[in-house]
Amino acid sequence: MSDAAVKPTPVESAIAPEVSETPKVPAAETVPVVEAGPIVAEPVSAPIATPAAGAEEVVGAPGNPAAAEEEKAPAVPELAPIAQLWNVALENGHPEIWGVTLADPETHIPTQIVLQKYLNANDGDIVKAKDQLTKTLEWRAKTKPLELIKKAFAKVKFEGLGFVTTYAGEGEASAEPEDKEVFTWNIYGGVKSIEETFGNLEEFIEWRVALMELALQELSLSTATKAITAEYDPYKMFQVHDYKSISFLRQSPAVKSASGETIKVFAQNYPELLKEKFFVNVPAIMGFVYSFMKLFVAAKTIKKFHPMSNGGNLALEFTDSNIKGLGERLPVEYGGKGGDLKALGKEPILSDGQEQ
């Protein structure tokens, strides 16, 4: 964190994070390389078929052929966690997550990545991972996030509030995930009318989801080539919230419900996609908002948060990036020498009229 960072009061978390994380992985640090290859099933931990209660007394008992037979019956091996998650997806029937058309993770790396993220988000707890995956599949079937990328949102409500930028290593195109960084930018300081932007919660969430799906297109998990593990996952993005020019000191109910709902929807449906999150141009006087917001976010996600009072220091945060000169390539107002977000970034589709 830079010197200009606002020192917030630590607060215990209450609900799930927007994008939960793998606790053992220090984000944005060098991580060991895992070669792409077929997914190896975890060693069989326990057979599904366990002897019936009291079986011990009879198994192998002389003159009990049925018991002897039972003893010889091969145990049914428990499926590896990823295979179990794949079965959940098959049973559910919804065919895609984050632009990845799901296929057998044994041979399809993009699906392995998606499913492993659900496992990682739940610290390997397969029951919780299955539940979260099911809820995501149901949510995607209902919300159709890929359709939202094609939807036009009203300029007057959303123009200039959200961008996606991608930075790849210069020179030869590299397929290494470490040679690409994707940023989503939320310029909430640019909101002209709180009521216009946040007043219709469903519409705001749709726009926010469209922005996230644009970022996922840039991350391009569908063409990913490296399997991930609990410790290694380079397929994550940076997020920036810019609160420049915020002129309202109290959070309105519309902002509270929009941010609360976004945090909930994202925690459920976009796990393990956040590398680091920067809150820039946070006026010192707004430190209390940070403390308040953290009440809704899991402690392990808060570790990835960096509040900064001066947005111009953002570029300094990327000096050790794998991508040379990443900080310099950011827009000037964030301390770089690059063009502004309007020129370089992608926005959800906007239209002059009401949304269509």
The residues binding ligand HEM (CB under 6 A) are 17-18, 186, 188, 191, 208, 241, 243, 246, 248, 251, 255, 258-259, 262-263, 277, 279, 282, 286, 289-290, 293-294, 297, 305, 307
Taking the complex as a whole, the smallest distance from the CB of residue 21 to ligand HEM amounts, in Å, to 11
Which CB sits closer to ligand HEM, 140 or 241?
241
- In angstroms, the CA 220 to CA 236 distance is 11
- Burial grade of 151 (CB within 10 A; 0-12, 13-18, 19 or more): middle
- In angstroms, the CA 263 to CA 186 distance is 14
Taking the complex as a whole, the smallest distance from the CB of residue 344 to ligand HEM amounts, in Å, to 20
Taking the complex as a whole, the smallest distance from the CB of residue 5 to ligand HEM amounts, in Å, to 11
Taking the complex as a whole, the smallest distance from the CB of residue 233 to ligand HEM amounts, in Å, to 18
Q: Which amino acid is at 133?
A: L
Which CB sits closer to ligand HEM, 217 or 281?
281
CA 350 → CA 150, 151, 213, distances in Å?
10, 8, 15
Tell me the three state secondary structure of residue 232: coil
- In angstroms, the CA 117 to CA 189 distance is 32
Which CB sits closer to ligand HEM, 102 or 314?
314
Taking the complex as a whole, the smallest distance from the CB of residue 144 to ligand HEM amounts, in Å, to 20
Which CB sits closer to ligand HEM, 17 or 234?
17
Which CB sits closer to ligand HEM, 102 or 205?
205
- In angstroms, the CA 244 to CA 334 distance is 11
Structural contact between residues 254 and 199, judged by C-beta atoms closer than 8 angstroms: yes
Which CB sits closer to ligand HEM, 126 or 297?
297
Which CB sits closer to ligand HEM, 111 or 132?
132
Taking the complex as a whole, the smallest distance from the CB of residue 284 to ligand HEM amounts, in Å, to 10
Taking the complex as a whole, the smallest distance from the CB of residue 259 to ligand HEM amounts, in Å, to 3
- Burial grade of 128 (CB within 10 A; 0-12, 13-18, 19 or more): middle
Which CB sits closer to ligand HEM, 80 or 205?
205
**Cα angle, residue 302 at apex, residues 259 and 124 outer, rounded to 5°:** 105
Taking the complex as a whole, the smallest distance from the CB of residue 54 to ligand HEM amounts, in Å, to 52
Q: Which of 348, 284, 322, 301 is nearest to 7 (CA)?
A: 284
The backbone region for 325, taken as left when phi is positive above 0, alpha when psi lies in -120 to 50, beta otherwise, is left
Which CB sits closer to ligand HEM, 221 or 297?
297
Q: Which of 221, 215, 218, 224 is nearest to 176 (CA)?
A: 224
- In angstroms, the CA 280 to CA 190 distance is 13
List beta partners, residue 351: 154
Taking the complex as a whole, the smallest distance from the CB of residue 336 to ligand HEM amounts, in Å, to 21
Pairing mode, if any, of strands 162-168 and 180-186?
A: antiparallel
